[in-house]
Chains A and B, each alone.
Chain A
Amino acid sequence: MTAELRELYQSVIIDHGRHPRNFGALANANHHHEGFNPLCGDRILIHAQTQNDRVEKIMFEGSGCAISMASASLMSDLLLKKTRAEIETVFADFHQLITTGHANQDLGKLRVMSGVHEFPLRVKCATLAWHALLAALRDVSGKVTTEDEEPI
């Protein structure tokens, strides 16, 4: 196995990919959005519950590869109590991390995703849930696809 593969498929990612946290419906959610990656058919439906503009709970449903599932799972754990603006900042840093391997701020547990930067074709897998969450918080109707991804 190459070092890049070991870096990409760390045990944390495999664990989150196989046993995603916060997986399922969310009864009290007030924001929903479906993300779709037409390249591989991955779908992630995000449910978010906010109070006073802060995210109280994120749950998700759907199916995807280890990278997209792990990214959704980690994200759903790590963004609680943040506002949409704060999440946008984290996402910008996360996006930098997975495209360059480095980030401006300490992203904590999200750093396990840095191995994605060696695999440009997998960036869309890692960002799918994030695009869906941000669209949900913006109350965008319809569906986001990874094809809408803009460089940040």
Chain B
Amino acid sequence: MCVLQWGIRMRLDIHKDFPILDQNIHGRPLVYLDSAASSQKPKAVIEAMTHYYEHDHANIHRGIYTLSERATVLHDQARDRVKQFINAKSSAEIIFVRGTTEAINLAAHSYGRSQLRAGDEIIVSVMEHHANIVPWQMLAASVGAHIKVIPLLPTGDLDMENYASLFSPRTRLVAITHASNVLGTVNPIKKITAIAHAHHVPVLVDGAQAVPHLSVDVQDLDCDFYVFSAHKMYGPTGIGVLYGKQALLENMPPWQGGGDMIAQVSFSGTTYAPLPAKFEAGTPAIAEAIGLHAAIDYIETIGMPAIMAHEAALMAYAKTRLGDIPGFRFIGMAKEKVGVIAFTLDDIHPHDMGTILDRSGIAIRAGHHCAMPLVMSLGLPAVARVSFGIYSRRADVDALVKGLYAVKKVLA
């Protein structure tokens, strides 16, 4: 056991819960520093999904037989677990989708196309991931709406004064990230929703980078939609969540049609199922929902306060060690950050850095990080990024520091 700041105890052997981390890449122990792109999976998640396929699989809401009933119960339990995890009021507010991207597309299609008209406005920020830009651009193009963009302060924080000034009588939606996938900046969502609600404008929050690192309480944030993916929070790929306030979801038209989302079908007219089924046409990702359930259990067994303390301590250590490297420059120095560090090193292109580090077993991200407007606004063609997870250790930072000195040597 190791005693961290604030007296929170966390197991030192968390690394061992993740089988994939126990391997060599190019003959060197894997140092995985790309958790913001996708986290690795603990044995508990892998086993939960395997167990389901080996013992409980059948289609849900179908059979009157035992297996189908078991699968249905497990799927429902996963939804209830998500409801609890983000403190939604009701499980009917939890819509399972393929991931964050699909959740935003669902909101843009269903809410957007039914509510927005020509001349209406959508507010986004310059730090958004492409997933929280392009669906709104497509919506804007189809209905004749406009997009307004909140700029950043030099620290990497949102310019909140500018944000407040962007509202007009035509503003219909704010779509904003909870935490930036490049800068790590955590945005003041409560303030953002309060300002929007004063103008009677709903807020969609992209929580993809926040859910693995922060306690999220959608009622406390008072956001209207909250979206995230399982695979960035130690769960499987292929499943994510659209949370929406029940009254909003009730009034939204279905997005995709098919089985499971109907009450009654006839050629003279079809009636739709109540929430959440209305938005879940077709056989869902059942095993993935069970994997997500296991991931939440895993996170909560360790405890979000312990995770936050661990990541804060690791970030402090990384800032000191990396800051000592000559030519190392941090990009984005917001006060509140998740475990993400974007940087440049001398004038070395991040792609060259990534290739050289990979030969030392170190996985980092290089490029525009699916946030081209942000990276271009920084005046850089590309940046390098390291990001931490629950399993990241000081030894990973030490390996990175050593690797970056090797990069400098190769390209000297």
Write the residues of chain A forming the contact surface with B, with a CB cutoff of 8 angstroms: 1-2, 4-5, 8-9, 14, 39-43, 63-67, 119, 121-122, 125
Contacts and interface: CB of A to CB of B under 8 A. Distances in A.
B351 A5 contact: no
15 contacts: A1-B409, A5-B355, A5-B356, A9-B410, A40-B366, A41-B375, A41-B381, A43-B381, A64-B351, A65-B351, A65-B352, A66-B349, A66-B352, A66-B411, A119-B355
Interface size range of chain B in the complex: 10 to 19
A122 B366 contact: no
Main secondary structure of the interface of A (DSSP, over half): mixed
Interface of B: 26, 349-352, 355-356, 359, 366-368, 372, 375, 381-382, 406, 409-411
A152 B382 CA distance: 29
B349 A64 contact: yes
Sorted from nearest, which 9 A-B pairs have the closest CB atoms? A65-B349, A65-B351, A41-B368, A40-B367, A63-B381, A41-B382, A40-B351, A66-B352, A65-B352
A100 B367 CA distance: 26
A122 B354 CA distance: 11
A125 B352 CA distance: 10
Contacts of A40: 350-351, 366-368, 382
Contacts of B356: 5, 9
A2 B382 CA distance: 25
A2 B350 CA distance: 19
A63 B350 CA distance: 12
B352 A67 contact: yes
Contact of A1 (B351, B368, B372, B410): B410
B402 to A, nearest CB: 12
Contact of B406 (A1, A42, A64): A1
B62 to A, nearest CB: 41
In the complex, which of the residues A39, A41, A66 has the most CB atoms of chain B within 10 Å of its own CB atom?
Answer: A41
Contact of A2 (B359, B366, B368, B375): B359
